[in-house]
Amino acid sequence: MGIKTLIWLLPLPPLLAFFIIVLFTNRKKALSHTISVGAAFLSWLGSMVVFFFAVQKGAHQLGEHPFASSINWLPLADKWLKIGVMVDPLTAVGLFFVAWTVFMIFIYSIGYQNYGQPKGDHDQKGLPPHGATVIDEQGHKHKVPSIEPMYSRFFAFIGLFAFGMYTLIISDNMLTLFVGWEIMGLCSYLLIGFWYAKPSARAAMIKAFITTRVGDVFMLLGIGALYAFTKTLNFREIFFNEELLHKMATTPSGFFGLSVAGLIGILLFIGTVGKSAQFPLHVWLPDAMEGPTPVSAMIHAATMVSAGVYMVIRMFPLLSAGAQHGELTSPMMAMAFIGAFTALFAASIALAQNDIKRVLAFSTISQLGYMIAALGIGAYVAAIFHLLTHAFFKALLFLGSGSVIHGMEHGIYHVDEDIDPQNMFNMGGLRKKMPITFWTFLAGGLALSGFPIITAGFWSKDEILADAFSNGHWMVFGTLAFAALLTAFYTMRQITLTFLGKPKTRAAGHAQETHWTMTLPLVVLAIFAIGFGWVGIPEQFPLIGGLIPNWLHDFVITTLPHHLGEVGFNWAPLLTSLVVALGGLFLGWYVYKDVPAGAEDPLKKPMGFVYKVLQNKYYFDELYDIIFIKPAIWFSETVSYLWMDRKIIDGILHFIARIAFQLGTIFRDWFDVPVVNGFGDFVGESTKKIGKSLRVVQTGRVQQYMLIALVITVATLFYYLFSVFTP
Amino acid sequence: MSFLDNNLLTLILFFPVASSLVLLFLPGKEKKLIRWVALLASLVPLILSIILWLNFKTGIKGFQFEEHYVWYSAINSSYHLGIDGISLTMVLLTTLLIPIAILASFNIEENVKAYMVLFLLLETGLLGVFVSLDLLLFFVFWEIGLVPMYFLINQWGSEKGERELWGGIKVKARTYASFKFLIYTMTGSLGLLLAIQMIGVVSGTFDLPTLFASWTTLNQSLFGLPIETVKTIAFWAFTIAFALKVPVWPFHTWLPDAHTEAPTAGSMILAGVLLKLGAYGFLRLVLPLYPVESKHYAGALAFLATMSIIFGAFSAFGQRDFKRLVAYSSVNHMGFVVLGIAAAARVQGTENAVIALNGAVLQMFNHGISAAGMFFLVGVIYSRTHTRNLDDYGGLFTLVPVYGGILIFTSMGALGLPGLNGFVSEFLVVRGSWPIFSVYTAFAMVGLLFTGAYVLKGIKQVLHGPLNEKWIGHLSEISAREVIVIAPLMVIMLWIGVWPAWILNVINRAVEVLF
């Protein structure tokens, strides 16, 4: 099997798993998860093989001649729109992180959905499991977690999702990328609303779909415009065509003074704003936490939301077309601004969240903002680097939080306490009860905070700051540095509240470490959260720079037609990043180290009104409800349907009908009845009389009728033949 | 085989009528027999059109499978049939949907014989429009299709509901709807007939291929009217007739009424095929016969199309009645067809026009498939719950998981999810019309956004949320027969979404040479 065939096959196992489970094995739990995880394994294996071959081929070779293969898909006019797959350096590293995170999360899901546990006492489809009562050998009743009632369905959905993500990554063109993009959107919708009977989940699933669709329709326009202008959607045909890019950058589009490249770039970027939950379309991601935690980890941290960033990274040559001498193009400026703003904005909200998953959700929004901002200032490699490290450590953190929630639930069942298992102020002291979860979560948390040298997050975040600094984008640099401080602070707040100190509730005291299917993925991801930074250590970094070559930079940079150089080393950004990371971590620990059970957030009083605003996410949900959702419903129901269609249009029709009706009445009363009917009656009466006189023929005897018929037929025939044969 | 080859279109066209005559002689009490005979009879045209499809040669310009017989020699009208890629696609759509609709009506109990006879009659009427190459013949079939549909709505339509007219006068909803449908189409037909007469008198023929060749350069006067005036009158008459039929905003209000009140299978065919007649009229008659006028007024048409897209979506979103929601979605989706046609009319013969037309014709087919599927699914839930009010459902996914899965799948096809059929055609329309009507295309995106909103609203209200407990024990899962009805539609939705080349190959060649 050739490498190209293998690339085509990568997305298929999870898709097949989806269909097999939905159609055949949906009642068999063990078989379903075996198929699904097995499919994820096959895709993982294939990806590793492809990755290995890609690396072996060498950066420059692969950059110039990626593994690519395409087929005719749509006949349009006298040409074909081709679709295909391609593995260039960017795809290769993308495959690497997708394969690992997806595979790990599939394994984790087995434990998370309580495989091996008994059926729940009152569990219903569409609601999370509520626990089962078991009687042990001594006759004591225990309440234990119960298995998810829609277990097989879950594995089918995540299979379909994996298909979407693999499709997106290996696409060589914008169209199939968009196909994968939207399939993931559907899965995100289905999985956020996995427990569809919960009204909150139902609201969240729709919110997610519609909010991202706002971005998607702009993106669709962008794709249409791109295709119309370039006559192709193939990435390399566009990016490696210097002349075309130049033409796009210099042709005015006629909209807002943008060039064609600028307009298309911004339209596509709006797609990313939706998908990667950037301001102002960020509102859906926190609510998406309604879904099961593996979903949050996979879709809403590691892969789908990252795909938004991946897309703009992919489109970078187009977005930066026309940029000269460090000047940013319009799309890049938009990205730098939105990205940096979102990074800070979301980080500030995370400070005041108490739900362990919501903190991570805002953290994800914030970190995605980092990547977007990085790309906006042209820090291409840094954006990719942070995308990779973030995928690992954020997936790890989410899975860790799921493990914590599970441990807490175990404790809650044990002591029968009615508390929220996701509220961090109910936790505390879990490091002793759940050591594996603790150590791995710590690794992820430190990576997120950018703890120096040993964590992957440090290297990638530092590179973004260094790039912003050395290119003189002070605003971006300052904003991101401040956001990094907040990040370290809320991360340490989370770790301190959850794991350190003493248990704040009885349930937390009885929490239990989770099953190996959950802890194994944590350990694997923790290794990446620590170690993955070493592939991208800058050459000129003091002491350790150059010990290991900056492999990542050399590898992915060949994706671009023009290779960018590494930025020079400077102490200022390094010191900044050391100060904010360590400072934030220390403050987070210091403020929250002794929060007693039942106490409020120590910052709530001193911050007062600001805290409330942060806790309520700057009231964006309420604001959007007033200015978008309510008016849209009112407009649809009242203006568009009731007033326009029913009152005005139908009103006019009814008016015309009424006139016609009344005209008809007039005609009938003044013309029909006296004139026509008078005449008609006369005709009728006469006919009756004639009929009477003809009645004699109607004997009712069939023979006689037949005879008459025969006579007439023969006569007619005779007449006909006669007329034909007479010259 | 040569008889079959030479008369394949006639066979497809008249087989349904012939079999409806057979049905007439079956005893009315034998409901089961009548149903099965009707179903089998409707399968024959399907098989024949598949043969037609396989024997169709895509590379050839002009019409194929032509049949030409003297019919009405006194006025130079002939029985002239023939198909190109556009009509072939529509023929396949019709012959595919009719058996499906007949199978879907197996639960009709009242007057089964008359129902089935009308249905088969309807099929001939619809097919006739797509295969006629003679204007008069075209008109005859155009009118024939109207009658059975009127009775289907009027007799077998929904039982409940009333509409207030004026001054407190109320009529039964299905009476109102069927009448509105009939009057609206007849209004268009008047102009259509007039225009056809004028063309016939001026050019001395009703034969379409002859007209395509001569009409645009024709230089003759009619009763002293200059040819330009004749052409303008005929152009507007055609345009109005077809715009009413599509329907284009603001002539659309008959559609939600007719679709909502019709019996399930009637709605399937209304949305699936009848709406396509209007769009087909634009493609077959307006664009080729009036290239100059259609280019001139393309902007206005694009405007109305955009309004259809936007307000169709809004009004759908504003519904509480599930079936009416789906009905309004047709306004929204057909808007894309018209947008594509308008764009193509503006830049005839260019690559953009070809792409836009590809999108428009494919969208016609796709909408036929997914709208029929949606109406069927509404019918399935209605036949069990006897309510269409979205507020009465809730959380049914738990009770009917298979139905739920099918509903989500079909809804996603209607929503235009990539990987399913609707996306391909919408993408092509957007791609084709963006360079021509950028602003309208951009505004159409508002409609696309709200397409998402109303589709999700339907799913949300029916399937998700807390279970409405009154349905426990009263709601049975979708039956095997019903799965057989929807399955072919789902397969086609997926097939076109994944591999559209098989159908676009046929469409693409046809629209390339349309002008």
Evaluate if residue A604 carries a pLDDT over 90: no
Per-residue model confidence as pLDDT tens digits over A118-146? 888 888 888 888 888 888 888 888 888 88
Q: What is the pLDDT of residue A715?
A: 79
pLDDT at res. B145: 85
The verdict on a CB contact (< 8 Å) between A649 and B250 is: yes
The question of ipTM being above 0.90 is answered as yes
First to last CA, chain B: 34
Distance in angstroms (rounded) separating the CA atoms of residues A306 and A388: 9
Q: Do B445 and A178 touch (CB under 8 A)?
A: no
Total domains, chain B:
1
CA B92, CA A41: separation in Å to the nearest integer?
Answer: 43
Cβ-defined contact of A73 to B500 (cutoff 8 Å): yes
Which residues of chain A from 654 to 713 reach within 8 Å of chain B, CB to CB? 654-655, 657-658
* Residue A641 near chain B (CB below 8 Å): yes
pLDDT at B69: 87
Q: Nearest by CB to A640, which of B314, B430, B508?
A: B314
Q: Considering only residues 208 to 267 of chain B, which have any Cβ-Cβ distance to chain A shorter than 8 Å?
A: 250, 252-253, 256
Distance from CA of A127 to the nearest CA of B (A): 9
For the segment A538-558, the average pLDDT, to the nearest whole number, is 80
Partner-chain contact B431 A224, CB within 8 Å: yes
Give me the half-sphere count of Cα atoms (radius 13 Å) on the Cβ side of residue A468: 31
Tell me the one-letter amino acid at A433.
Answer: K
Tell whether A18 lies on the interface with B, counting CB pairs under 8 A: no
A250: Cβ contacts below 8 Å, ≥ 6 apart: A259, A322
What is the pLDDT, as a whole number, of residue A668? Answer: 82
* Helix, strand or coil, per DSSP, at residue A173: strand
Helical ranges in B318-467 per DSSP H: 322-346, 351-385, 401-415, 421-433, 438-462
Q: What is the 3-state secondary structure (H, E, C) of A485-507?
A: HHHHHHHHHHHHHHHCCCCCCHH
Q: Residue A698 above 70 pLDDT?
A: no
Provide the 3-class DSSP secondary structure of residue A74.
strand
Q: Write down the pLDDT at residue B222.
A: 66
Question: Which token pair is A646?
Answer: 């029913």
Cross-chain Cβ contact B355/A76 below 8 Å = yes
Taking CB atoms and an 8 Å cutoff, what residues of chain B touch A223? 427, 431
Instruction: Give the residues across from A82 on adjacent strands.
Output: A72
The DSSP 8-state label assigned to residue A565 in this structure reads P
pLDDT category of residue A190 using cuts at 50, 70 and 90: very high
Pull the structure tokens for residue B14: 């008249």
- Whether B172 is in a domain gets the answer no
**B458 touches A: beta carbon within 8 Å:** no
Question: What does DSSP assign to residue B479?
Answer: P
* B460 to A645: CB separation less than 8 angstroms, yes or no: no
Q: Which of B418, B449, B499 sits opposite A217 (nearest CB)?
A: B449
DSSP structure class, residue B477: P
Domain assignment present for residue B482? The answer is yes
Sign of the four-CA dihedral B246, B249, B251, B252: positive
How many C-beta atoms surround the C-beta of residue B5 within 10 A? Answer: 10
Query: What are A258's two structure tokens?
Result: 């943008």
Instruction: State the pLDDT confidence band at A66, using cuts at 50, 70 and 90.
Output: confident
pLDDT of residue A696 exceeding 70: no
CA distance B322 to B309: 19
- In which band, very low, low, confident or very high, does the pLDDT at A700 lie, cut at 50, 70 and 90? low
Which residues 6+ apart lie within 8 Å of B483 measured at CB? B402, B406
pLDDT at B371: 94
Q: Does B62 touch chain A (CB under 8 A)?
A: no
| Residue range(s) defining the domain that contains residue B347 | 290-515
Name the residue in chain A with its Cα closest to that of B256.
A645
Residue A636: list chain B partners with CB under 8 A.
314-318, 450
CB contacts, 8 Å: B331 with chain A = none
With the CA atoms of A462, A465, A467 and A470 taken in that order, what torsion angle do they form, in degrees rounded to the nearest 10?
Answer: -120
Q: Does A632 touch chain B (CB under 8 A)?
A: yes
Q: Rounded distance, CA A385 to CA A538, Å?
A: 12
Q: Do A632 and B317 count as a contact with CB atoms less than 8 A apart?
A: yes
Is residue B197 one of the residues assigned to a domain? no
Mention every residue, 6+ apart, whose C-beta is less than 8 A from residue B72.
B78, B136
Q: How many CB contacts within 8 angstroms connect chain A with chain B?
A: 160
Given an 8 Å threshold on Cβ–Cβ distance, is B412 in contact with A186? yes
* pLDDT band with cut points at 50, 70 and 90 for residue A263: very high
The domain spans of chain A are: 1-113+150-170, 622-713
Residues A312-341 have a mean pLDDT of 88
| Binary contact (B419, A636; C-beta < 8 A) | no
Q: φ and ψ at A9, to 5 degrees?
A: -80, -20
Could you give the CA distance from residue A212 to residue A227 in angstroms, rounded to a whole number?
A: 22
Which residues in chain A are contacts of B351 at CB distance < 8 A?
76-77
* B448 Cα to chain A: minimum distance (Å): 7
Provide the b/e sequence for B217-249 (b: ≥16 CB within 10 Å): eeeeebeeeeeeebbebbbbbbbbbbbbbbbbb
A719: pLDDT strictly greater than 80: no
Touching B: A residues 279-338, CB under 8 Å: none
The 10 Å Cβ neighbour count of residue B213 is 10
Per run of 10 residues, the mean pLDDT along chain B (length 515 residues) is 75 91 86 91 93 86 86 83 91 94 90 90 93 91 89 87 80 88 88 87 84 75 75 89 90 90 92 92 90 89 94 92 92 94 90 91 94 94 90 89 93 91 93 92 92 93 89 88 94 93 89 79
B423 neighbourhood in chain A, CB within 8 Å: 179, 182
Q: Does any domain span residue B188?
A: no
DSSP string, A673-686: IIIIHHHHHHHHHH
CB-CB under 8 Å, A642 with B452 = no
pLDDT tens profile B458-485: 999 999 988 888 888 888 889 999 999 9
For residues A176 and B388, what is the distance between their CA atoms, to the nearest angstrom?
38
Q: What is the pLDDT of residue B221?
A: 66
Residue A653 has its nearest CB partner, among B253, B355, B395, at: B253
Q: How confident is the model at residue A372 (pLDDT cuts 50, 70, 90)?
A: very high
B411 within domain boundaries: yes
Q: In the beta sheet, which residues pair with residue A76?
A: A79
Name the residue facing A214 among B354, B395, B449 (closest C-beta). B449
pLDDT digits (tens, 9 = 90+) for A411-468: 888 888 888 889 898 888 888 889 999 999 999 999 999 888 888 888 898 889 998 9
Please say whether the beta carbons of A169 and A47 come within 8 A: no
A300 pLDDT exceeds 60? yes
Strands A141-144 and A132-135: antiparallel
Please answer yes or no on whether B401 and A125 come within 8 Å at the CB atom: yes
- Minimal-distance CA residue of chain A relative to B179: A657
How far apart, in whole angstroms, are the C-alpha atoms of residue A331 and residue A311?
14
| pLDDT over 90 at A562, yes or no | no
| Mean predicted lDDT score pLDDT of chain A | 88
Whether residues B424 and A74 touch (CB distance < 8 A) is answered with yes
Q: Do residue B319 and residue A641 have CB atoms under 8 angstroms apart?
A: yes
Task: Say if the Cβ atoms of B456 and A209 lie within 8 Å.
Answer: yes
Nearest Cα of chain A lies from the Cα of B254 at a distance, in angstroms, of 9
Q: How far apart are CA A36 and CA A24, in angstroms?
A: 13
Q: What distance in Å separates the CA atoms of residue A100 and residue A399, rounded to the nearest whole number?
A: 14
User: Mean pLDDT over residues A330-335, rounded?
Assistant: 92
**What is the chain A residue with the closest CA to B514?**
A77
Residues A641, B315: C-beta atoms closer than 8 Å? yes
Nearest chain A residue to B416, by CA: A182
B1 to chain A, any CB pair closer than 8 A? The answer is no
Measured distance CA(B427)–CA(A233) in Å, rounded:
13
Please indicate whether, in this complex, the C-beta atoms of B445 and A199 are within 8 angstroms of each other: no
Residue identified by tokens 């097995």 is A38
